[in-house]
Amino acid sequence: MTKLRLAIVGAGPAGIYAADILLKAERNFDVSIDLFDRLPAPYGLVRYGVAPDHPRIKGIITALREVLDRGDIRVFGNVNFGTDITLDDLKKHYHAVIFATGAVRDADLDIPGIDLDGSYGAADFVSWFDGHPDVPRTWPLEAQSVAVIGNGNVALDVSRILAKHPEDLLSTEIPDNVYEGLKASPVTDVHVFGRRGPAQVKFTPLELRELGELRDVDMIVYDEDFDYDEASKAAITSNKQVMVIDKVLQKWRQRDVGTASRRLHLHFYAKPLEVVSDDEGRVAAFRYERTTPDAEGGVVGTGEIREVPIQAIYRAVGYFGSPLDGIPFDKRHGVIPNREGMVLKKGSNDVVPGVYATGWIKRGPVGLIGHTKSDAMETIKHVINGESNWWAPADPSEQGVIDLLEERGVKYTDLDGWHNLDQHEVKLGEPHGRARIKVVPREDMVAISRGEALGA
Ligand SMILES: Cc1cc2nc3c(=O)[nH]c(=O)nc-3n(C[C@H](O)[C@H](O)[C@H](O)COP(=O)(O)OP(=O)(O)OC[C@H]3O[C@@H](n4cnc5c(N)ncnc54)[C@H](O)[C@@H]3O)c2cc1C
């Protein structure tokens, strides 16, 4: 073997880091990598998950882009694994594949009424405000009072975007349709509900503190949630992150409120029971059971049932991976079963030859972008040492896959195409003094990337 032809499916941070690490790694063979993504633009959830008003994190795109701009990784955007290209195709043209397809769906919240009109998954809303091409252009922002279920950073992102005055998002890359949608929103109250207490939240101090800096939004916390038990007190003294979170919340308890036109309420110790319907099948209220600490860092129900009138509800209870054709899938955890990135046969400890996984589809949807780097290192170590497991492709030529996509009429985009789209978006922003304005429709993204006339 002199050259490994490697396919990576998923051009999010996990896929890009894996390619970069392999190219830089010590090894006794050459490498040629093709990076596929179903979207016409790379960067996965950094482009389509990280909130638009987090420019510092969005800036990670610059580092990922530097990797691609080096020119030693071929990019094939707008190519969906499972339809445009299959496992058999990959086996014909590559020695191995790494799946880095992430997790883009909402995890389920199994309570009555969760499918009512006016009940949404956070992932769908995030996709909308981040200009994802595959979600509708409009979002029904008609509610005055909204509930957000969850106590992680995504719940805070969703709550912040709902509560923030849209003018304050105008310095970001949000597409015009998102600005117009948010501008029409009559929202006055956003209620965030967490099952446990302030010392057990999953969000980070930075994301929490930011809520208190929103213009014309009052932060409301409730004294009843701060009667800490011993386990909570211990968490606050022993964990710096929890300590800072407590400090931020305690400050808000002292603040005068009542002047802002919008309010963001944080409710703790609230176990979701039901989304209550009105006569027309629309969301009318959120019913929950008040919980109390169980002295071990968890909670138990108190039997006290409460109801808050709302007209929309968002569940932000986690993301979930999607199965890929021909690849083992763990339905319970929403991941590809693997041992340190080597994909395992269903219900067995045997590895599937030539197939690897990295990032959120390997590990589950937890952790920050930086974690996908250490993940990729582990997977790449096994790719390098796994030569005896690689496939023997019939046509490993670099032209083979291009011929295949062209024969199938797949309108793929490449690195030059991304540069075209990137420049186009930057130009759209210029007259408005904005860094960029995102192009949303997939056909426009593809046409601009490929240098074709819009609407052709
Ligand atoms: C709302 C939200 C906010 C976040 N904010 C932050 C933050 O502020 N800071 C931070 O560090 N982390 C943040 N994260 C976490 C971060 O986004 C993830 O850690 C990281 O994106 C995971 O990388 P990944 O490459 O595994 O998956 P992804 O980024 O999801 O990339 C997967 C890629 O695979 C592609 N793909 C999927 N299926 C197919 C297929 N069948 N064929 C071809 N391509 C496919 C997708 O289009 C996507 O481009 C946030 C996550 C979310 C959901």
158-208 pLDDT tens trace: 999 999 999 999 989 899 999 999 999 999 999 999 999 999 999 999 999
18 appears as a binding residue in the annotation: no
User: In the structure, what pLDDT confidence band is assigned to residue 222 with cuts at 50, 70 and 90?
Assistant: very high
Q: Which pair of tokens denotes residue 438? A: 């995102």
Residues 74 and 128 in one domain: no
Across residues 200-219, what is the average pLDDT?
96
**DSSP conformation letters of 275-330:** EEE-TTSBEEEEEEEEEEE-SSS-EEEEEEEEEEE-SEEEE-S-EE----TTS--B
Nearest-atom index, ligand 1, CA of 130: 1
156 appears as a binding residue in the annotation: no
Across residues 129-135, what is the average pLDDT?
95
Q: What is the domain extent for residue 161? A: 108-316
Distance (angstroms) between ligand 1 centre and the Cα of 360 equals 7
Q: What is the pLDDT of residue 456?
A: 60
Residue 192 lies in a domain: yes
The pLDDT tens digits for 228-271 are: 999 999 999 999 999 999 999 999 999 888 899 999 999 999 99
Q: Which among 316, 337, 370 is the end of a domain? A: 316
Cα dihedral 150→152→155→160 (10° resolution): 140
Q: What is the pLDDT of residue 347?
A: 86
59 lines ligand 1 (CB under 6 A): no
Residues 88 and 27 in one domain: yes
CA-nearest residue, atom 53 of ligand 1: 49
Q: What is the pLDDT of residue 152?
A: 95
321 lines ligand 1 (CB under 6 A): no
- Does the pLDDT of residue 8 top 70, yes or no? yes
398 appears as a binding residue in the annotation: no
8 lines ligand 1 (CB under 6 A): no
126 lines ligand 1 (CB under 6 A): yes
Distance CA 221, CA 234 (A): 21
Distance CA 307, CA 362 (A): 39
Across residues 389-415, what is the average pLDDT?
97
39 lines ligand 1 (CB under 6 A): yes
Mean pLDDT value across the chain: 95
Residue 379 lies in a domain: yes
Which of 58, 78, 101 is the best mutation target for the ligand 1 pocket, counting ligand atoms within 8 Å of the beta carbon and taking the most? 101
Cβ burial, residue 212 (10 Å; 0-12/13-18/19+)? middle
CATH code of 374's domain: 3.40.50.720
Give pTM, 2 decimals: 0.95
Residue 449 lies in a domain: no
Residues 176 and 43 in one domain: no
Residue 437 lies in a domain: no
Residues 114 and 98 in one domain: no
Residues 299 and 167 in one domain: yes
Cα dihedral 324→330→336→341 (10° resolution): -170
- Does the pLDDT of residue 1 top 60, yes or no? no
Nearest-atom index, ligand 1, CA of 42: 49
Q: What is the pLDDT of residue 367?
A: 85
369 appears as a binding residue in the annotation: yes
Q: What is the pLDDT of residue 223?
A: 96
Residues 112 and 258 in one domain: yes
CA-nearest residue, atom 9 of ligand 1: 368
Residues 302 and 351 in one domain: no
**Coil/strand/helix, residue 173:** coil
Percent of the chain with pLDDT over 70: 99
368 lines ligand 1 (CB under 6 A): yes
4 lines ligand 1 (CB under 6 A): no
Residues 241 and 119 in one domain: yes
- Does the pLDDT of residue 297 top 80, yes or no? no
Distance (angstroms) between ligand 1 centre and the Cα of 157 equals 15
368 appears as a binding residue in the annotation: yes
Q: Is the distance from CB of 43 to CB of 131 less than 8 angstroms?
A: no
- Does the pLDDT of residue 210 top 80, yes or no? yes
CATH code of 167's domain: 3.50.50.60
367 appears as a binding residue in the annotation: yes
Contacts of 185 (CB under 8 A, 6+ apart): 141, 142, 162, 166
Residues 235 and 159 in one domain: yes
98 lines ligand 1 (CB under 6 A): no
Q: What is the pLDDT of residue 298?
A: 86
Distance CA 380, CA 386 (A): 10
User: In the structure, what pLDDT confidence band is assigned to residue 435 with cuts at 50, 70 and 90?
Assistant: confident
Radius of gyration of the chain (CA): 24
Distance CA 361, CA 233 (A): 36
Residues 214 and 156 in one domain: yes
CA-nearest residue, atom 37 of ligand 1: 101
Distance (angstroms) between ligand 1 centre and the Cα of 279 equals 39
Distance CA 440, CA 426 (A): 14
> How wide is the angle at C-alpha 108 spanned by C-alphas 105 and 114, nearest 5°?
115
Residues 302 and 390 in one domain: no
Q: Which pair of tokens denotes residue 339? A: 């041992």
User: In the structure, what pLDDT confidence band is assigned to residue 296 with cuts at 50, 70 and 90?
Assistant: confident
Q: What is the pLDDT of residue 287?
A: 98
The pLDDT tens digits for 279-289 are: 999 999 999 99
**Coil/strand/helix, residue 219:** strand
Residue 375 lies in a domain: yes
Percent of the chain with pLDDT over 90: 93
Region of 111 (left: φ > 0; alpha: ψ -120 to 50; beta: rest) is beta
Strand partners, 248: none
Across residues 8-33, what is the average pLDDT?
97
Q: Is the distance from CB of 91 to CB of 400 less than 8 angstroms?
A: no
Across residues 421-444, what is the average pLDDT?
94
Count of domains in the chain?
2
